[in-house]
Chain A
Amino acid sequence: MIAVGVALFASCTGSERQVPPAKLAGIRVVDLIPASLSGETWQDAEPFLALYASNPRLMAASAFTPNPGGSASATAPIFVSDDGGDSWTLRNTLPSESMTADITHAVGGTPPVLYAGIMKVPGFPLNELKANDFFSPATMTLQAFRVDIDQPFVRTSQVGNADRVYIGLNDFDAPDGRTATVDVSLDGGGTYASRRIETRSTAGQNGPSIRPAVAQDHTVYVAYFGWRSNAGADVTSDVVVVRDDSGATGATPFRDLVDPSDHLPGRLVATHVTIPWSNAPTLGQERIGSTLAIAVDGQHSENVYLAWADRVGTGDIYTVHVRRSTDRGATWSGDLRALTNATDASLAVSANGSVGLLYQQVTGSAGTSRWVTRLEQSRDGFATHQDVVLASVPATTPTFQFLPYIGDYNCLLTRGNQFLGIFSANNTPDSTNFPQGVMYQRRVDFPTHRLLDGSGAAVAVSIDPFFFSVPVLP
């Protein structure tokens, strides 16, 4: 794959398209901004990725990237790739003015169906969308919508020819402040049912992150924050996992995992953790308060991993914890990883059982601080692990344009013998910032570390989305 990338970009003119040598075999890091948008300086934060198991060349990706046509545009874009992530194009197919206020997506069946959950601009209603062919220039089709929700998070599975869609979201119109919800469609988005998954009293609502994960046997796990009280900027929360053993097809889904302490659905993996809710630049110009991820071993649904971030009170700002269950969520390990001053944790479990953990961590201090993006993977529950630094970039530049700075989340997936993911970071073309190498589509000049526009003039550094692939440990 590296050879493919080098060949592709070697065909471009001049030294500005040089690709620094990759340091470890098989690892790719690709800036998604295409050559024809080389002048862009936007903060392309909060990236997300969707893959096809049936065709490894097809991918869709998103970020807070605006329609290049400007703020008056009636549509917002997604990125697509038909060559396995070596190159990307931008297409304006989302029914949202210029940009979305939140977006995640996942693939369905063949032809390349894509489901997306967005918060639409203006007004920010939930739009549950479908494209029968995401390479089509047609605007995605609206399947369902409503107001007063937050952070739609899409996962899919297939049963026969039918796509099942699970969209975790925080529904502020849910009764009794139990806002953690999964919109479930068993018919390819034709109809959705809102399933409430919180069964305990809350502090008026749950946290924004409601994260589903689906195994091949149709076991569905969902992780959420059970907010119990708040004082000032700190929220006291439980970290909860619910499970449904039959794809949420029953009348009262997500009731198959009960906590022994109160016999209510939803296993309390951690209780009374402190979530620092800060909607201001707090960690390397990023806000914090909703980091949560869950992944299930697709072929062995008893194995499930969970990551969340809280403040543990030892002088850190925000610590990512990773835990594991090997008995369908009934019991959980202690912290397998505890990563200080980190956020944007994403998890995936490969076909051979290796777990991947993507996260972004601030190192250093003040003007020398850096955002370091790492992929760790382990075959033994993090008793040992391989650590790959994908990027290490200045945390103080560029200055934030809005929040999130790099994202309230990023994305890690797996297919075959690869971990594939996406993160956002400072886009300075400096090979020392990307220890595994990096490929740019946009015009850059590596010797002078400059971004260039179409006429060759210098372009300011900004935040770009970066796709990556890393071989799974054998």
Chain B
Amino acid sequence: MHTRSAILLALALAFPGVEGVAQMSRAALVKQSDIIFIGTVTQVGAVAVPEVPASPRTVVVRVDQVLEKPAPVALTAGDSVTVETARAGSLKAGIQATFYTTGWIFGRGVAVREVGHEPGRSPVVASVQTAAVARARLEVNDAELKAHIQRAAMVVAGRVEQVRPAELAGAPTRPKRISEHDPNWQEAIIQVQDGIKGAQAGEQVVVRFPGSADVAWVGTPKFAVGEEGTFLLHKDSTTGSPLSMIAGRSVPAYTALHKVDVLSKQDATRVRSLIKRP
């Protein structure tokens, strides 16, 4: 698949009429990558640092410009990176390309695995590639958010009115377990201001979330009274208790356990736009 992507991209550059195909392929590469850079191959069958095993598939690439990387990764123009290519012999010394990669070995230097590369004409115009990768990342992010929206039972913009301990009345009867990983389920009562999907303005909904500070729940959204946002809500299939209570009424309980499930209030516009997008 990676080779096919590179071929499609090369064709797209040669034939401007297939730009749409190229964009799709670039988005696929971006989706699978967390380190993207423009670089020039300096050695083939070699490595930049000794802690990485050399093989016919490894090449050393001088970084010309970093387009995307995680914040912790120390990678700047001029660094030499070891790239494990998708296919031996696919790159020759002197070639400049945009490399779509994932992190492999982090030591004195960075070693990455190639997802694909975009050969282009040399020299690659950095500003053009920067914009193209940024567009592709936006496209990927939109697609992922749209998928989350489609999976959500309810999407609302609203305000957290109350936070209370969850009473999991319907949960299967089993002894309470004491563990440092206990989620300590809480319930946020959200006043719906804008019912984007599956809800009406003025409703109140119950959203369960782990109040625990344990490492197991570190990436899970937490709610606080007064918090406003756009919330992608899923019927609670996690706690074993699908119902909760509001003012004496039994109501469905929801969860928002993925970081994408909690967006800013301003993101409501983007969410509406994605819902309308085919």
Residue positions of A touching B, CB distance < 8 A: 34-42, 45-46, 64, 67-71, 73, 82, 87-92, 98-99, 101-102, 119, 121, 124, 137, 148, 150, 170, 172, 177, 204-205, 208, 230, 235, 277, 279-281, 287, 289-290, 400-404, 408, 441, 443, 453-455
Contact = CB atoms under 8 A, between A and B. Distances in A.
A213 B202 CA distance: 60
Given A124-B181, A402-B217, 19 more contacts: A35-B107, A36-B110, A46-B215, A68-B73, A69-B102, A73-B34, A87-B107, A87-B108, A89-B106, A90-B107, A101-B215, A102-B181, A137-B105, A172-B179, A279-B180, A400-B213, A401-B218, A402-B218, A453-B74
Interface in B65-112: 70-76, 79, 102-110
A89 B177 CA distance: 37
Contacts of B213: 279-281, 400, 402-403
Nearest to A12: B108
A64 B178 contact: no
Contacts of A102: 181
A79 B72 CA distance: 16
Contact of A137 (B75, B104, B108): B104
Contacts of B219: 71, 98
A387 B181 CA distance: 34
A175 B11 CA distance: 64
A35 B107 CA distance: 6
A36 B179 contact: no
B75 A36 contact: yes
Given A34-B107, A89-B106, A90-B105, A69 B179 contact: no
Nearest to A73: B34
A101 B216 CA distance: 5
Given A39-B74, A119-B181, A403 B215 contact: yes
17 contacts: A34-B107, A36-B109, A37-B72, A39-B71, A39-B74, A68-B106, A71-B219, A90-B105, A124-B181, A137-B104, A170-B179, A279-B184, A289-B180, A400-B213, A402-B214, A454-B76, A454-B79
Contact of B214 (A67, A90, A403, A454): A403
Interface string B190-228: 000000000000000000000011111111000000000
A46 B218 CA distance: 15
B51 A82 contact: yes
B216 A38 contact: no
B278 interface: no
A41 B108 contact: no
A455 B34 CA distance: 19
B272 interface: no
Contact of A454 (B75, B180, B184): B75
A91 to B, nearest CB: 6
A89 B178 CA distance: 36
B16 interface: no
A454 B106 CA distance: 13
A135 to B, nearest CB: 8
A406 to B, nearest CB: 12
**Interface of chain B, helix or strand or loop or mixed?**
loop
Interface of B: 34-35, 51, 70-76, 79, 102-110, 175-182, 184, 212-219, 259
A402 B178 contact: no
Contact of B180 (A68, A148, A290): A290
A205 B180 contact: no
A286 to B, nearest CB: 11
Contacts of B212: 279
Contact of A408 (B102, B180, B216): B180
A88 B180 contact: no
Contacts of A289: 180
Contact of B107 (A71, A73, A88, A443): A88
A69 B51 contact: no
Contact of A150 (B51, B179, B215): B179
B74 A35 contact: yes
A398 B179 CA distance: 25
A402 B215 contact: yes
Contacts of A408: 180
Contact of B51 (A89, A403, A443, A454): A89
B175 A68 contact: no
Contacts of B181: 101-102, 119, 124, 150
A87 B177 CA distance: 41
B74 A443 contact: yes
Contacts of B79: 454
A403 B180 contact: yes
A204 B176 CA distance: 8
Nearest to A149: B179
Contacts of B215: 45-46, 64, 99, 101, 402-404
A121 B74 CA distance: 26
Contacts of A99: 215
Nearest to A69: B34
Nearest to A121: B216
B73 A37 contact: yes
A350 to B, nearest CB: 30
Interface centre among A35, A71, A102, A441 (most CB of B within 10 A): A35
Contacts of A150: 179-181
Contacts of B217: 402
Given A90-B105, A92-B103, A150-B179, A39 B214 contact: no
Nearest to B70: A68
A383 B119 CA distance: 70
A277 B180 CA distance: 9
